[in-house]
Each structure stands twice: as structure tokens, then as C-alpha cells.
Amino acid sequence: MTGWIWFWAIVKILCVVLLAPLMAGWVKWLKCKLQNRQGPAPWQPYLDLQRLARKQVVLADTASPIFRIAPYIVFSVTIIAVSAVPVITVKLPIAALADVIALVGFLALARFFLSLAGMDVGTAFGGMGSSREVTISSLAEPALLMAFFTLAMNVSSTNLSTVISHLAQQHFTLYPSLIFSSLGLILVAIAETGRIPIDNPATHLELTMIHEAMILEYSGRHLALMEWAAMLKLTLYSLLIVNLIVPYGVALTLDPGDLAFAALIVTVKLFIWSCFLAVSETVQAKMRLFRAPQFLGLAFILTLLGMMSHIILEVQ
């Protein structure tokens, strides 16, 4: 029995990793349609990744070993982070590996190496991207942790499986803390996955880009890994948002019928979330970099308010 659980856990990780490009491509396609553009097909990222993986790597002569190991570390760490997130069931053997704090730690570790890689070649672009990335994430990360803490205090556990299964079984009540922390979580997710209005995944304009600036010197399979890790991160945050804010429909048992139903529900939830993302990216413009702190400050205040209201109003 335990062997099967592990098998399914690995299948789950593989599914998320393999479907992440589709998620990114789908959001892009939807955005193009909303903006009256033709746009590439949703499966275009697969073709891009395949092309990149086949191409020869061209390395800058100033690059150090950090530049070469960073893509592998970033990608592997993101996979480990994915493994801790319940997708369709809360019966997760790997849940003991890491809780939400460790999850945030993994994302921070990936970002650490990504930013180092940006500084490695010694060009102005890379340094600029790294500097902006660490600035934005140093504001976003506390907000993210606060949002998680509020949920964790609600069920007095930081284990994601426990949190989601408690929330799903709880009698539905619209707590103020949940509203505040959900809003904060969404703002953080937008900032951390490099979407409009903080960063624009489609741009290569030097004054605006963050993520693209850091990976500007990458090519071939290294670039493929970096791009894939970014898509994986988008999927990871999407899953966190849909499963934490609307935990209903996540299977609490390993019954095949439940699992199939849960898979369907998660797909629907992700569909709604991606529509929201595409619409929000269509109606907004990118912010100036120095307005980003206000955006993230709002996220931090919201999550802090969520936690305060939980402690002051909701703890009996």
C-alpha cells in the first residue's frame, strides 16, 4: 500500500512538471485572444523547450561554475517545492518532507541561485535583474509567509496537507482573516511569478524586465531549464492559490472515484484562475519599478491584517 502511495506521488510530480508548460502556454494564448492577437498555440512552450534542449550551449567566457550549475539547482529545487503541494489529494507521503515554511525556503533557494547566475557573467543587465529580483522578493516573501501563517494558525499546523484537509472539512464560514490573507496571497503570487504589473514575461526591454534580464546570457539546455522552472513556478503558485483559497474538491481519500472527481475540479479551478490572470494582465499596464514596493506593501499589510484579525477576533 505505501509503495503505491509513493508511486502515485511521483506520478503526481511528473504530471505537474510535464503539464506546467501547457499552463504557461494556455495563459499566453488566452491573453493573446483577449488582446485581439493571433498568438501561438497553447502547446508552443513544449516546442520551444524541445528546440532549446537540442541546441548547443554557448557560454560566456567570463561565466563561472555557478552559471552552469544554477539551472539544475533552480529546476530541481522547484520540483521539490512542487512535491510538497497537494494537487488532487491530501494523502501525500512527501508532505512530511517539507511544510509551508520549507516550501518558501525552497523557492528562496531557487531564487538565490537564479540571482547569482544573473550576476555571474558580469554584465550590467544581469546585475540589474538580480538586484530587482531580490528587492521584490524580499518584500514578497514575508507577505507570503504571513499569508501561510494565518492559514496555519487557523488549523494549528504548517503542513500543507493538514491545512488543506482541515479547511476543506471545515464548515464554510467567511472569516475576515481568510479574505485578507487570500488577497495578499494573490498579490504575492502575481509578483513572484513575474507577471504584470510587476514584471512582464513577454518583454525584452531593458528598463522593465526582471526575470528575463537575469537569464539573458543563458542558451540551449540551460535556458530550457530556466524557462521550464519559471513555468513550474507559475503552476506551483496557481495550485497553491486554488487549493488553499478554495480547498473544496481536493480528495480526502485515495478512492479512485474521488481522485478522478478531484482532478476534474482542480482543472476547473485552474481554468478559472488562468482566466482571471489573463484578464488582469490585459486590463493592466506594467508598473514603474519603484511603485512595486507599494503593491507589495499592500500585500504585506493585507496578510498582517489577516493574521491580526485571526488572533484578535477569531481565537476563542
Our finding on whether 235 is near another protein (CB under 8 A) is no
Tell which residue, 227, 207, 245, 19, has the closest CA to residue 114.
Answer: 227
Please say which residue, 215 or 277, places its beta carbon nearer to another protein: 215
Give me the least distance between CB of 279 and another protein, in Å please.
29
Query: Between residue 160 and residue 179, which ones bind another protein under the rule CB under 8 A?
Result: 162
Our finding on whether 280 is near another protein (CB under 8 A) is no
Distance (Å, whole) CA 12 – CA 16: 6
Give me the least distance between CB of 31 and another protein, in Å please.
28
CA gyration radius, the chain: 19
Give me the least distance between CB of 253 and another protein, in Å please.
17
Please say which residue, 56 or 173, places its beta carbon nearer to another protein: 56
Cell numbers representing residue 222 in the block: 540551460
Give me the least distance between CB of 30 and another protein, in Å please.
29
Contact 279/28 with Cβ under 8 angstroms? no
Burial code (b: 16+ CB inside 10 Å, e: under 16) for 149-184 equals bbbbbbbebbbbbbbbbbbbeeeeeebebbebbbbb
Query: Between residue 61 and residue 100, which ones bind another protein under the rule CB under 8 A?
Result: 61-62, 64-66, 72-73, 75-77, 79-80, 83, 95-99
Segment contacting another protein (CB under 8 A): 40-48, 157-165, 178-186, 236-244? 157-165
Please say which residue, 19 or 104, places its beta carbon nearer to another protein: 104
Phi, psi dihedrals of residue 70, rounded to the nearest 5°: -55, -45
Please say which residue, 88 or 103, places its beta carbon nearer to another protein: 103
140-to-191, 231, 236, 308 alpha-carbon distances in Å: 7, 19, 16, 18
Please say which residue, 26 or 228, places its beta carbon nearer to another protein: 228
User: Which residues on adjacent β-strands are paired with residue 89?
Assistant: 251
Binding pattern to another protein, positions 97-136, x when CB under 8 A? xxx-xx--xx-xx-xx--xx-xxxxxxx-xxx-xxx-xx-
Residue 110: half-sphere exposure toward Cβ, Cα within 13 Å = 28
Give me the least distance between CB of 180 and another protein, in Å please.
13
E-strand ranges in 225-314 read: none
Binding pattern to another protein, positions 189-228, x when CB under 8 A? ----------------------------x---x--xx---
Binding pattern to another protein, positions 281-310, x when CB under 8 A? --------xx--x------x---x--xx-x
1-to-6, 84, 96, 139, 234 alpha-carbon distances in Å: 9, 20, 17, 43, 32
Give me the least distance between CB of 32 and another protein, in Å please.
29
Give me the least distance between CB of 10 and another protein, in Å please.
11
Contact 250/90 with Cβ under 8 angstroms? yes
Give me the least distance between CB of 171 and another protein, in Å please.
19
